[in-house]
Structure 1
Amino acid sequence: MSSSDIDFVAALEEQTNLNFQLPDPEDEQIPEMEFQRQVDTAWRVCDRFDLQTEIWRGRILRAVRDREKKYGDTRGSGFLKWLQEREISKSQAYSMIQLANSADKLMEQGQLDPDTVRCFSKRAFIETAKAEPEIQQLITDAAKKGDRITRREVRQLADEFTAMSSDLLPDTVKAKAADNTLPSRYLAPLVREMEKLPESHQTVFREEVAANPDVDTLKQVTSEARYLAKYLDAATNVQALDEESVDLEKALEEALRIGCINVAADLVNQASQLEQTIAKLYNTWKKIGSLADRLYVDTGASTPNLRSLLNCLEQLGGEVVEVQLGSGERTIRLQIQEE
């Protein structure tokens, strides 16, 4: 037996037997808190092994793929066949390979060690791997202390970093976040929305938050910034607004002043979607006409059913398109005219 085989057998012998003694869900003598504690402990152990299994599967898949790249054909058919035999999709395989790459990278950088990985849930580790290096450092530092890392902790640490590192928030707000008088979870969404806006609008919102650094103001400003970004993005795509002398900035200022920016943003966004739908409708209408003409040429007295199909679809290929809504209670007719 080779040394690699011996290592493999040893690894199998060291595997933990996941055989939990779960609490009886019908036992009234078990307090609710104790029941939740026991099932949560079992769940976390499964989560840990799930993560480690996915990382090692990713490493195995990476080895098989790299071997095929070097010695197989250029199409990678050998790797695909290997996946098919194990009923693994290509997307699943590369997802596991990416997870393994992330784990190896964090370990090579000294941010993680094998024991620290056990502190992560699978989803938390994946989110950490996608995060910015500074956020990764915060998360791995917490894991090294033995803290349990779930997606909730990842989001919390990411929000705290976003809030404290952004130049878009005034110092008074950052100070309140630092002493926990202002929850950081309300600051990160605001920063993300403000980043989408021109500097002039960022300044207005920054001043408003500085004047009233409280949760209600943060929620309101975040909502306004979100709708404002939607308004600005959609307005540039609406052709109807190019044909008229509309001052979009002044219209925006008026909407903000009277508190209806959400309605204005939705209106402009719906107008943009309607124009896109009309363009798509026109292209589909042209395609139906072209296909119907081709099929008409190929049909005749010997194909009465195909002719019947063409007759039924004629109402969708003519200048007037007719469609019934619902169970026929209302008929919609659209006239298409080309210029």
Structure 2
Amino acid sequence: MHSVERAFEPSVDLHFRLPNPEDEQIPELEFQEQVEQAWQVCDRFDLQTDIWRGRILRAVRDREKRHGDGRGTGFLNWLKDREISKSQAYAMIELANSADTLLDGGYLEPEDVNQFSKRAFVETAHAAPEVQQMVSEAAHRGDRITRREVRQLSDDWTAMTSDLLPTEVKQKAADHTIPAKYLAPLVKEMQKLPESHQVSIRDAVAETPDVDTLKQATSEARYLWRYLEAATNVQALNNESLDLELALEEALRLGCLSSAADLVNHAAQLEQTVTKLYLTWKRLNALSERLYLDSGASSPHLRTLLSCLAPLSGDIIETSLTGGGDRTIRLQVLSNADVDIS
């Protein structure tokens, strides 16, 4: 196992000369090559620096987890002092984790990191071990590794190894009749589905193994997943008279699967929104009542504030439609049970 502390020692020379953009004697091709070389030097240095920064951030975060207040306040303050956003911090931590994964797995030598872009590095760490091995071999040969190359290798590996794809498609991918880039998205969507739906899609693709069928199958698999996932989260669909699978078959037969999936998905979102609206309304009522009791004639402005908010705290919620001119929305709240929102 490689030593994490010694891996990726910064060794990039940042002293380089840029071509003069005003020198007309430099051919355009030569100018672009010099600029690209300089850019790659910066990219390598940037990658190494962010890997080390990620390790530092990870150490600070882990220390906070062990000895902090349990809410990560110390870590967030540490980031704030250095003007680092939380998303930037975790992006660098992910980069550090990727480096350690590739090193610990024996897929990469420390000096080979110079061949990667940052995004390619993370992409490689998330790839299958076989893909990691192929990428590391290319990097060791001195090839420049970008995310595009990593994804291409991942797509090719998926096309040749996935049990979800029929033999007819794999053969066409092997002889480049069908580009491998169309196979990985289909496999990704099919993996989410129950076996019965996987079989039906695989059979359809085997019957007509071409690009158009693959695109259609990918879209169908995506909508199938959206339908199945959302349907389990919609309380209104918990009805003994409803057979979700038969409804799905009818949508497929009529060619309106996308509409059915969107319908169920929006229904799930609406139920969640209604629940959140009700809990927020209850909380608003509780706060309004508390403030009313704490105020009086000596606080006329607070009373005016409560008066202005009254249309939102009554049994009928009333508000103007944003961007809708004079249109007003009125919602009546009817509840047969109290909900604890404290």
TM-score (norm 1): 0.84
Contact 1:177 1:183 in 2 (8 A): yes
AA in 2 matched with 1:154:
V
Contact 2:319 2:330 in 1 (8 A): yes
Distance 1:33 1:270, change over 3 A: farther
Corresponding position of 2:19: 22
Distance 1:236 1:79 in 2: 38
Following TM superposition, by how much is the alpha carbon of 1:121 offset from its aligned partner in structure 2, in angstroms? 0.9
Among all aligned residue pairs of Structure 1 and Structure 2, give the percentage whose two residues are the same amino acid: 65
TM-superposition CA deviations, 1:79-131 (whole Å, max 9, x none): 99987775556775665455345434433443222332211112211221233
Distance 1:84 1:336 in 2: 43
Distance 2:265 2:114 in 1: 46
The SS at the match of 2:139 is helix
Q: Does 1:176 align with 2:172?
A: yes
Following TM superposition, by how much is the alpha carbon of 1:138 offset from its aligned partner in structure 2, in angstroms? 2.1
Following TM superposition, by how much is the alpha carbon of 1:189 offset from its aligned partner in structure 2, in angstroms? 0.5
Q: What is the correspondence of 1:72-111 to structure 2 with a 5 Å cutoff? A: 74-75=67-68, 95-96=91-92, 98-111=94-107
The SS at the match of 1:118 is helix
AA in 1 matched with 2:302:
L
AA in 2 matched with 1:16:
D
Distance 2:27 2:279 in 1: 65
Structure 1's unaligned 5+ residue stretches are 1-10
Distance 2:143 2:57 in 1: 30
Structure 2's unaligned 5+ residue stretches are 1-8, 337-342
Q: Does 1:164 align with 2:127?
A: no
TM-superposition CA deviations, 1:256-290 (whole Å, max 9, x none): 11211011110111111111111111111111111
TM-superposition CA deviations, 1:194-215 (whole Å, max 9, x none): 1111111111100111111111
Q: Does 1:333 align with 2:315?
A: no
Distance 1:239 1:173 in 2: 40
Corresponding position of 1:188: 184
Distance 1:334 1:123, change over 3 A: same
Corresponding position of 1:258: 254
Contact 1:128 1:139 in 2 (8 A): yes
The SS at the match of 1:168 is coil
The one of 179, 185, 197 aligned to 1:201 = 197
The one of 46, 52, 56 aligned to 2:48 = 52
Distance 1:65 1:322 in 2: 46
Following TM superposition, by how much is the alpha carbon of 1:294 offset from its aligned partner in structure 2, in angstroms? 0.5
The SS at the match of 2:115 is coil
Count of equivalent residues: 323
Distance 1:256 1:282 in 2: 36
TM-superposition CA deviations, 1:119-178 (whole Å, max 9, x none): 111221122123332321121122222221101111111222222221100111111112
The one of 210, 214, 238 aligned to 2:210 = 214
Contact 1:58 1:99 in 2 (8 A): yes
For the aligned residues, what is the CA RMSD?
Answer: 3.1
Distance 1:63 1:275 in 2: 42
Q: Does 1:115 align with 2:108?
A: no
The SS at the match of 2:193 is coil
Q: What is the correspondence of 1:182-331 to structure 2 with a 5 Å cutoff? A: 182-243=178-239, 245-325=241-321, 326=323, 328-331=325-328
The SS at the match of 2:176 is coil
Contact 2:98 2:121 in 1 (8 A): no
TM-score (norm 2): 0.83
Following TM superposition, by how much is the alpha carbon of 1:338 offset from its aligned partner in structure 2, in angstroms? 1.2
